[in-house]
Amino acid sequence: MEYTAATTAAACRALGVIQSMGRVGCALDNAAAEAFNSTLKVEFVHRQHFRTRAEARIKVATWIADFYNTTRRHSANDGLAPIPFEHEVARARATSVDQLRAGVA
């Protein structure tokens, strides 16, 4: 319930953060974020020992940038990692636009 606390809501407003909350008991609310946090903990954090918070920040950011976004496959992305998936989506959009311009679609 800490995410619905008035102080948290006020801090979010002050920082320009939009909170994402559905109705009580909605299993799909923040499902992607929950899945990411679980993966981060299970596949990386629990297998490491960090001496400082700074070291943890650097290693987690590196894991996300170098592995999670480029290599780790996701069922929600047709089995592709996030960056290759985004490239595929952009390529498909560009192809659709080219076809529309050429009058093929």
More reliable by pLDDT, 47 or 15: 47
Single-letter amino acid, residue 40 = L
Strand blocks (E) in the chain: none
Tens-digit pLDDT profile for residues 36-94? 899 999 999 999 999 999 999 999 999 999 998 888 888 878 888 889 999 988 998 88
For residue 2, name the pLDDT band (cuts at 50, 70, 90): low
Cβ-contact 3, 13 below 8 angstroms:
no
